[in-house]
């Protein structure tokens, strides 16, 4: 096991990793930008070191400064968390070349699976269904039009090396495709450094279902069931649950087997998430694989009892998986609401500022992962996530009731948040019945605004 881990992240995920390391007897080093000097992850780590100014490019994305910090503090491992450099193959490669352990998959895995076209090819060769689309990158608008006319509209024009819901355009006609092609390539280049794009057929009103896997260095791979992430705005998830109310036992087995087949096909090692699009007839198609810890991993932890972060650390240091597939049982139901510093009534405008009053809920089956405290200043430079509110109960209906109570008891004063929206969703009849898809959030927010204006 490592004796000291540098955590190349901030916020709630940095705290989550610190806790896992401490339980394993591992010392931790936090990095921080100048604006994060008073953050909780800085206070809770054994050591902390500043890596730059507030903008991410100068701090949490500054590879040279982060590597230097790890070496200067005597770390022998780096955990990237999620976001920032977590899926940057160049960062992982440099970590490896410096004889440090990257707590995640190899740089080659990140590179291969981060390329959506290559990932689709691997899935297809492994016998995992994929959505109809281009065989590779689409170089010209004329090529794009030819492919789109062949498979039929609507289509998705997607960044080949994209992620986080960026670099995706829904196209409904040839004229729209011609107008959007250069723009999408530019967005891909701006966000990911590569302007390559490809085409997929758009599946109307699907469910977004993902499968959590764990794979060690000895070829052992298990899945931990599915998460339903269909409630999302601008391709950003904000409610997750496990198990999915849409997935029956047959589909659960098929999804789990497909996820494991994909991981085996590329000899994957570490925690990972295989994402699928599932249509209303329960046909499923591979979408992408995330080679990092997911924001929503606590949902799976609650229904399986598996500490995914601990397992990820153990795998990185050559340990066998603690669990077998037969030992994984889904118990009860878990829900997660992401609490963000955004104003849903104002096009989800970010709302940084001072937390003037903070009251966190508690009780049996309630978990909250957050880095907030009273008088904490939410900076404007980073992701808007404030907290993850997670509940667990024997049934889905009981979990929804518990989430309602937890949200009622959560108070964050001083800034705009999405707390009220989450509360209203928990009372929405369609959500309560489990009848929703990826179009739910857009429709719900539109109705919420209309009702507010009446």
Angle between helices 89-97 and 63-72 (to 10 degrees): 30
394 C-beta neighbours (distance < 10 Å), count: 11
Among 105, 81, 87, which Cα is nearest to 10's? 81
Torsion of the alpha carbons at 67, 72, 73 and 77, rounded to the nearest 10? 30
Name 406's Cβ contacts closer than 8 Å, sequence gap at least 6.
Answer: 361, 363, 366, 368, 389, 391
172 C-beta neighbours (distance < 10 Å), count: 11
Note whether 199 and 140 are within 8 A (CB). no
The one catalytic residue in 185, 207, 292, 367 is 292
Q: Is 227 marked active-site?
A: no
Name 412's Cβ contacts closer than 8 Å, sequence gap at least 6.
Answer: 339, 355, 357, 358, 372, 386, 387, 419
Strands 4-7 vs 27-33: parallel, antiparallel or unpaired: parallel
- Which residues are part of the catalytic machinery? 292
């Amino acid at each position: 096991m490592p004796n000291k881990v540098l955590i190349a992240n901030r916020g709630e995920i940095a705290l989550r990793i610190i806790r896992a390391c401490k339980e394993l007897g591992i010392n931790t080093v936090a990095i921080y930008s100048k604006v994060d000097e008073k953050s909780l992850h800085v206070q809770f780590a054994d050591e902390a070191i500043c890596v730059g100014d507030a903008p991410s490019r100068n701090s949490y994305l500054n590879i040279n400064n982060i590597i230097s910090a790890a070496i200067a503090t005597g770390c022998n491992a780096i955990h990237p968390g999620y976001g920032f450099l977590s899926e940057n193959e160049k960062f992982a490669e440099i970590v490896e070349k410096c004889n440090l352990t990257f707590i995640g998959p190899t740089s080659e895995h990140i590179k291969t699976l981060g390329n959506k076209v290559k990932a689709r090819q691997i899935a297809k060769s492994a016998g995992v269904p994929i959505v109809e689309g281009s065989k590779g990158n689409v170089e010209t608008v004329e090529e794009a039009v030819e492919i789109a006319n062949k498979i039929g509209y609507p289509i998705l024009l997607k960044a080949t090396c994209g992620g986080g819901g960026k670099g995706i355009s829904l196209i409904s006609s040839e004229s729209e495709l011609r107008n959007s092609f250069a723009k999408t390539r530019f967005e891909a280049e701006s966000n990911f450094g590569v302007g390559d794009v490809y085409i997929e057929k758009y599946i109307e009103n699907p469910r977004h279902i993902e499968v959590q896997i764990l794979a060690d260095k000895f070829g052992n791979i298990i899945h931990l069931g599915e998460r339903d992430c269909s409630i999302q705005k601008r391709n950003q998830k904000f409610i997750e649950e496990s198990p999915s109310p849409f997935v029956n036992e047959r589909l659960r087995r098929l999804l789990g087997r497909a996820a494991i087949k994909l991981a085996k096909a590329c000899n994957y090692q570490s925690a990972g998430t295989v994402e699928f699009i599932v249509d209303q007839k329960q046909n499923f198609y591979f979408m992408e694989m995330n080679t990092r810890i997911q924001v929503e991993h606590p949902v799976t932890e609650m229904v399986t009892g598996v500490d995914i972060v601990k397992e990820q650390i153990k795998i990185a240091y050559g340990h066998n998986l603690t669990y077998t597939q037969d030992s994984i049982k889904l118990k009860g139901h878990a829900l997660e609401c992401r609490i963000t510093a955004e104003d849903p009534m104002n096009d989800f405008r970010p709302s940084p500022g001072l937390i003037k009053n903070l009251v966190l809920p508690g009780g049996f089956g309630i978990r909250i992962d957050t880095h907030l405290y009273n008088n904490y200043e939410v900076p404007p430079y980073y992701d808007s996530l404030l907290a993850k509110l997670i509940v667990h109960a024997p049934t889905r209906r009981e979990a929804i009731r518990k989430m309602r109570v937890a949200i009622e008891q959560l108070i964050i004063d001083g800034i705009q948040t999405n707390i009220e929206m989450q509360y209203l969703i928990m009372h929405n009849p369609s959500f309560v019945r489990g009848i929703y898809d990826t179009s739910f959030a857009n429709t719900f927010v539109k109705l919420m605004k209309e009702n507010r204006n009446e």
